[in-house]
């Protein structure tokens, strides 16, 4: 292994790998550490939304991802009153075991060095360098770099060790498992259920192709969904909700139920401090309302890499200099994340959910709004606000 690097990236999820890849492509010597060995599992719904696909295209990674996963044009949404509507969007499912292994491989091919099985647990910045301590096979090691990028996902303990004032509690929790379901089952669309008992969370069945399905449920603790047993919520969703119950009939569960925390709303940790930038789910770059975060994890990582490049070339890496990154995130994303938070408030009400998805069947305005939200060409509050809901009632 090379002895010295300019940048260390902590975490090789989508955020860390994209940051490392972008830096390596720009000619920076970069090392990426992950506490796990790849390929590794990551609890997720395994869906790439249009923003994620767009970024992968921009970085010339899409063809490699596309050929490994399952593309679907539509998402079918069930409202609490059991009406359903199909929305067009363009979605791609790929197990995170495969996606994350592919992205970190791409970062390594671009020139990054991967140290897997390395748990970062200490960070110190001085006037001349940053020192990153980590544990590898029980041995304590340290790397000296010019700066570091932190992309450790929703791992609050690591965030605490990096001194970025993290909120201790997650914003949401979600659980999933994998099933093999019967052969003739529809695998041409994602299935979402906004069930009364689960709102503002939702249940899902996502086809992965070849008879495999990712099945799960998510609850938003920051919207008051605390104290529930997630396993029980998932079991009763599958047992009591008619369509999913029918879909899984005769199927085989292939994996244990696994749950994980989410950090949403672009809150919960400082994006920068001396010689350090934080990106991905670590800064809450996962949407409230939907819980999707792969796209924005990669986008914020790409932006963090741009700021790291500028800092490396100017030599200015003090917190006050890197705060430009915080301001850039605010400018690009604050309003968008706030809109998802407001959308979550409205969509969490069964009557609103019934109105929105019911009207999407007959009103092309409502449908175009929902499809625009999926494509990120529309702000969620254009529809999910008192004025938007009034328009939903009258516009065709
Ligand atoms: C059940 C569930 C379903 C979801 N479904 C979807 C979905 O379908 N689509 C979507 O877009 N989003 C989904 N999300 C959200 C999505 O998983 C996250 O937004 C995304 O993984 C964030 O990427 P990241 O790179 O920031 O963090 P992660 O993917 O969490 O990667 C962080 C990495 O950091 C490593 N790490 C942590 N601590 C350390 C340490 N101390 N030292 C070294 N390495 C460390 C971890 O091992 C990990 O590899 C879901 C989340 C859950 C929980």
153-191 pLDDT, tens digit per residue, is 999 999 999 999 889 999 999 999 999 999 889 999 999
55 and 124 fall within a common domain: yes
| Per-residue model confidence as pLDDT tens digits over 285-327 | 999 999 999 999 999 999 999 999 999 999 999 999 999 999 9
| Predicted pLDDT at 3 | 61
Which percentage of the chain shows pLDDT scores above 90? 95
The reply to whether 276 and 311 lie within a common domain is yes
Ligand 1 centroid distance, CA of 347 (Å): 25
Same domain for 100 and 164, yes or no, is yes
**Alpha carbon distance 273, 47 (integer Å):** 32
Size of the chain in residues: 396
Smallest CA-to-CA distance from 19 within 225, 309, 219 is with: 309
79 plus 112 within the same structural domain = no
Task: Quickly state the pLDDT bin for 395 (edges 50, 70, 90).
Answer: very high
How far, in Å, from the CA of 355 to the mean position of ligand 1?
33
Distance CA 377, CA 360 (A): 17
Domain boundary among 261, 289, 313: 261
Q: How many angstroms separate the alpha carbon of residue 34 from the centre of ligand 1? A: 12
Q: Three-class SS of residue 254?
A: coil
Task: For residues 36 and 153, state if they share a domain.
Answer: yes
In contact, 78 and 137? CB cutoff 8 Å = no
CATH of residue 239's domain is 3.30.9.10
Q: Looking at the structure, tell me whether residues 15 and 51 fall in a common domain.
A: yes
| Whether 202 and 182 share a structural domain | yes
Q: Residue 249, exposed/middle/buried by CB under 10 A (0-12, 13-18, 19+)?
A: exposed
Domain that holds residue 182: 71-92+170-261
User: How many domains does one find in the chain?
Assistant: 3
CATH of the domain at 306: 3.50.50.60
190-240 residue pLDDT tens: 999 999 999 999 999 999 999 999 999 999 998 888 889 999 999 999 999
Cα-to-centroid distance, 187 and ligand 1 (Å): 25
| Ligand 1 centroid, distance to 281 Cα (angstroms) | 7
Are 268 and 329 members of one domain?
yes
Domain boundary among 311, 327, 343: 343
Q: Which of 37, 43, 44 to mutate to test the pocket of ligand 1 (most atoms within 8 A of CB)?
A: 44
Cα 320 to ligand 1 centroid, rounded to whole Å: 28
Q: If you take atom 10 of ligand 1, which residue's CA is the nearest one? A: 292
Same domain? For 256 and 330 the reply is no
The answer on 120 and 49 residing in a single domain is yes
Residue 49 carries which DSSP code? P
Q: Which residues contact 118 (CB under 8 A, 6 or more apart)?
A: 33, 34, 35, 134, 135, 136, 141
CA distances from 44 to 6, 18, 36, 216, 376 (A): 32, 18, 16, 9, 21
241 and 159 both lie in a single domain:
no
84 three-state secondary structure: strand
Q: Are 354 and 348 in contact (CB under 8 A)?
A: no
Of 201, 226, 261, which closes a domain?
261
Residues whose beta carbon lies within 6 Å of some atom of ligand 1: 10-16, 33-36, 42-47, 49, 119-120, 151-153, 155, 158, 174, 176, 216, 260, 262, 280-282, 286, 291-295, 297
- Whether residue 164 is found in the same domain as residue 206: no
């Amino acid at each position: 292994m090379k002895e010295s690097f300019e940048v260390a990236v902590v975490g090789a999820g989508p955020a860390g790998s994209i940051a490392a890849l972008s830096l390596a492509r720009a000619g920076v010597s970069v090392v990426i550490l992950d506490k796990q060995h790849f390929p590794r599992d990551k609890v997720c719904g395994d869906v790439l939304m249009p923003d994620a696909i767009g970024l992968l295209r921009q970085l010339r990674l899409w063809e490699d991802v596309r050929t490994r996963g399952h593309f679907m044009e539509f998402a079918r949404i069930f409202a609490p009153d059991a009406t359903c509507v199909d929305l067009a969007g363009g979605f791609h499912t790929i197990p995170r075991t495969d996606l994350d292994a592919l992205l970190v491989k791409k970062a390594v091919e671009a020139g990054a060095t991967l140290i897997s099985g390395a748990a970062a647990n200490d960070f110190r910045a001085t006037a001349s360098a940053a020192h990153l301590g980590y544990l590898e096979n029980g041995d304590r090691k340290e790397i000296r770099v010019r700066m570091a990028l932190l992309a450790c996902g929703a791992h609050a303990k690591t965030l605490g060790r990096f001194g970025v004032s993290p909120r201790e509690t997650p914003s949401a929790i979600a659980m999933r498992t994998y099933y093999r379901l019967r052969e003739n089952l529809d695998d041409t669309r994602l299935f979402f259920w906004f069930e009364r008992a689960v709102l503002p969370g939702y249940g899902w069945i996502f086809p992965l192709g070849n008879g495999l399905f990712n099945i799960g449920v998510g609850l938003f603790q920051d919207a008051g969904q605390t104290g529930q047993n997630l396993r029980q919520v998932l079991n009763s969703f599958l047992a009591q909700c008619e369509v999913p119950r029918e879909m899984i009939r005769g199927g085989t569960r292939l994996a244990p139920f696994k749950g994980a925390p989410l950090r949403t709303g672009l809150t919960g940790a400082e994006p920068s401090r001396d010689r350090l930038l934080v990106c991905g789910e670590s800064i809450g770059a996962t949407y409230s309302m939907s819980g999707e975060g792969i796209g924005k994890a990669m986008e914020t990582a790409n932006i963090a890499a741009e700021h790291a490049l500028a800092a490396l070339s100017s030599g200015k890496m003090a917190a006050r200099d890197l705060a430009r990154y915080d301001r850039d995130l605010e400018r690009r994303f604050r309003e968008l994340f706030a809109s998802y938070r407001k959308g979550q408030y409205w969509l969490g009400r069964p009557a609103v959910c019934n109105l929105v998805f019911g009207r999407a069947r007959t009103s092309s305005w409502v449908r175009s709004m929902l499809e625009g939200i999926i494509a990120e060409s529309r702000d969620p509050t254009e529809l999910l606000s008192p004025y938007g809901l009034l328009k939903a009632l009258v516009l065709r």
